[in-house]
A and B are shown apart, each in its own frame.
Chain A
């Protein structure tokens, strides 16, 4: 009976694991819904802002702002990596860290003064393992990053950029493109690139200009540019949070399915072993009886 009992024990423990992975899948599905709503509304905000900047630049005003200008001799840079605090989310952290390590090497050869900032315990541990020590770490961003928490970071970067210690800010995070597609990307947040700011709408709205500006286009621009940076940073955090939930959802779904398969397989082996044992015992009894008959 020893073997059948061992199989039964294994089956029980796999059932327990299956319960855990199934629950985690359900939890991340629920969190994902909320995170997704937030990401979408932040997206709406960013879109409106880009539209506004587009309208501004069409009013004949060349967008000129310190945050938009490339520095002639860049020296200081920062690399911000967004990873998760918890594991069990498939290739989510792996993808981010692989890209981060790559960018880190590239940026190191370009800039004398490079700082590495990492959000998420997994990222910190993973990069340390690769022999890269982060200068600053954040572990307080959970699955719902709040605007005021991100704002603190944004303010720090803007100040450093203004003071001249920081000439470039790059971020490595997982972009949420659709439910079935998230990819680790690296983007330059500062200086804000001119290419991706509201050029798509240029033609659609071209007929409608002649805005009235209160107080003036320049002063609005001066405020709107830092704001669009803050919103982009916030959007990155939200995207990363959504992607994490999706990754965990998929990983846990796969784990649950795997557990189902193993349970089915173990059940079959268990039944077979039990049958084999019964047959064995029967044979022993019969052969014993026959031996006495002779």
Chain B
């Protein structure tokens, strides 16, 4: 069976480059599962959990925004931030959520910024709860 090659890059470094037989990634409006042989795709990523099913068991990462390109069984994710799911702490995520909720928003742009921060914090919290340290 052919495998997928999953590459995650952030502007600071290449976080991940490995084989997997299934990849689930968070798009802007929900999760997308990619299996080998998927047709080419370019999509916008949201904040959430990237899940890889590899030979060595599942691996989980938290990613934040960016883009994904699927071509010839290669899944490249360009994202601003990518960390292993296990390294997110629940208390920190809760704090971030409270801080994001407490932000003042007086103009549409500020509202957009706040909503984005809240979304990110929620996604972090969700992943932190699901993957305790």
Q: Please give, as numbers and ranges, the residues of chain B lying within 8 Å of A135 by CB-CB distance.
A: none
A 5-49 contacts with B by CB, 8 A = 37-38, 41-42, 44-45, 48-49
Residue of A whose beta carbon sits closest to that of B10: A45
With A52-B78, A215-B29 already in contact, the answer to whether A41 and B14 are too (CB < 8 A) is yes
**Cα A214 to Cα B29 with chains together (Å):** 9
- Stretch of A86-94, A217-225, A240-248 lying at the B interface: A217-225
Residue of A whose beta carbon sits closest to that of B44: A220
Tell me if B21 is interfacial: C-beta within 8 Å of chain A: no
Select one of B11, B13, B39, B67 contacting A224, CB under 8 A: B67
Whether B78 lies near A215 (C-beta < 8 A) is no
Whether A208 lies near B71 (C-beta < 8 A) is yes
Residue of A whose beta carbon sits closest to that of B39: A212
Most chain B Cβ neighbours within 10 Å, of A51, A212, A214, A220 = A214
Whether B78 lies near A45 (C-beta < 8 A) is yes
B: interface residue count bin: 20 to 34
Whether B13 lies near A55 (C-beta < 8 A) is no
Most chain A Cβ neighbours within 10 Å, of B13, B29, B42 = B42
Whether A214 lies near B40 (C-beta < 8 A) is no
Residue of A whose beta carbon sits closest to that of B79: A45
Tell me if A129 is interfacial: C-beta within 8 Å of chain B: no
Tell me if A147 is interfacial: C-beta within 8 Å of chain B: yes
Tell me if B104 is interfacial: C-beta within 8 Å of chain A: no
Tell me if B117 is interfacial: C-beta within 8 Å of chain A: no
Whether A211 lies near B78 (C-beta < 8 A) is no
Select one of A147, A223, A231 contacting B44, CB under 8 A: A223
Number of interface residues of A (CB under 8 A): 30
**Cα A231 to Cα B11 with chains together (Å):** 7
Q: How far is the CB of B13 from chain A (nearest CB, A)?
A: 4
Residue of B whose beta carbon sits closest to that of A205: B71
Select one of A38, A44, A215, A223 contacting B9, CB under 8 A: A44
**Cα A209 to Cα B71 with chains together (Å):** 10
Select one of A147, A210, A211 contacting B11, CB under 8 A: A147
Select one of B11, B41, B72 contacting A212, CB under 8 A: B41
Whether B41 lies near A38 (C-beta < 8 A) is no
Q: How far is the CB of A37 from chain B (nearest CB, A)?
A: 8
**Cα A234 to Cα B39 with chains together (Å):** 33
Residue of A whose beta carbon sits closest to that of B71: A208
**Which residues of A come within 8 Å of B, CB atoms?**
37-38, 41-42, 44-45, 48-49, 51-52, 55-56, 147, 208-215, 217, 219-220, 223-224, 227, 230-231, 234
- 7 new A-B contacts at CB < 8 Å, known A214-B32, A220-B43: A48-B9, A49-B78, A55-B42, A147-B12, A208-B40, A213-B43, A215-B28
**Which residues of B come within 8 Å of A, CB atoms?**
9-14, 27-29, 32, 39-44, 66-67, 69, 71-72, 76, 78, 80
